[in-house]
Amino acid sequence: MNTLVKKVCLTAAIIGVGASSVQPALADTRHPSMNDNKILNIAHRGGSGYAPEHTLPSYEMGEEMGGDYIELDLQMTKDGELIAMHDETLDRTTDGTGLVKDYTLKEIKELDAGSWFNDIYPEKAKSEYDGLKVQTLEEIIQHFGKDKHYYIETKSPEVYPGMEEKLLELLDEYNLTRQNGPSSKVIIQSFSEASLQKIHEMNEDIPLVQLIDYKTNATITNAQLDHYEEYAVGLGMSFKKIDEEYVDKVRAHDLMIHPYTVLEKEDMRRLIEWGVTGMFTNYPDRLQEVLKEMKRK
Ligand code: G3P
Ligand code: CA
């Protein structure tokens, strides 16, 4: 299969449509929203509007609230373990301080990754959040299983040589590197094109999403879209920077478009009307409600 055909098939598989038509594909009963609306509900750092980001309760909440994918950011410890954390430093989401790369997993496991949330959001605080542990990617896969869907970001890959190899090794071990159903089990995303290109060289089958950090309103040329199409199946960018014309252009190139991080229902509705194929949200329950409302329209 050539690269273009493969990409079209992957895109189709991810959004839950048959490769040769726009009809819904095999029903994925675990993820009905993919079939009903073809809009991916991506639980950003889990249900992180309700629980400390990147902890098991947050991911569990994301699942329970209708998230199709658990979104998680990767950092790497001094001893080369992939952990789920957004920041390069421990300071914001644990009671530790300093760079993740300067600590071993054993040291990071001693930290409290939940109390900060109770302190900042007393109205959402729960006693069980106190003392939560930082999770490794492997622990998350073991906890949720290889039938769940993971939308994994290589964060700061330039700081962590070997991060991509370790990620693919782990995914391979859990048989998550193949397309084995109507929707892909794993999508890998990054702001770093180099990181995605490296992954693409190692494994052309894993669907990749290029994140773009627009400083001003988003614009994109056909040449840029052609370039992204060579290795990625979709793009992600701040929902605040795009308009309907931008969405049209991306979709005309058969790339998925997953804006981040959408919190309010009116923004969700507008983006769906523009034709996005999914979105990152801290409130997967809100997106579920919007999808249901819009289906009734
Ligand atoms: O990965 C999509 C979105 O999460 C990118 O922003 O900073 O929340 O990782 P960030
Ligand atoms: Ca992310």
Output the pLDDT for position 187: 95
Check if 189 has its Cβ closer than 6 Å to any atom of ligand 1.
yes
Residue 24 CA to residue 18 CA, distance in Å, equals 6
Answer whether 46 contacts ligand 1 (Cβ < 6 A).
no
pLDDT score recorded for residue 178: 72
Ligand 1 atom closest to Cα of residue 236: 2
Q: What pLDDT digit, counting tens, does each position of 189-207 carry?
A: 999 999 999 999 999 989 9
Q: Are 191 and 213 in contact (CB under 8 A)?
A: yes
Distance from residue 48's CA to the centre of ligand 1 (Å): 12
Q: Check pocket membership of 285 for ligand 1, CB cut-off 6 A.
A: no
Domains of the chain listed by start with CATH number: 3-88+135-296 (3.20.20.190)
Residue 43 is classified by DSSP as E
Cα 42 to middle of ligand 2, angstroms: 10
> How many angstroms separate the alpha carbon of residue 85 from the centre of ligand 1?
11
Instruction: Kindly report, residue by residue over 226-260, the tens digit of the pLDDT.
Output: 999 999 999 999 999 999 999 999 999 989 999 99
Q: For residues 202 and 164, is the Cβ–Cβ distance under 8 A? A: yes
Question: Is 227 one of the catalytic residues?
Answer: no
Alpha carbon 92 to chain centroid, angstroms: 21
Q: What is the pLDDT of residue 180?
A: 47
Give yes or no: 86 in active site: yes
Residues of the chain with pLDDT under 70: 1-37, 179-183, 296-297
Residue 152's DSSP bridge partners are 72, 188
Q: Is the CB of 68 under 6 A from ligand 1?
A: no
Query: Which is nearest to 25 in space by CA: 9, 46, 41, 40?
Result: 9
Identify the pLDDT of residue 270: 98
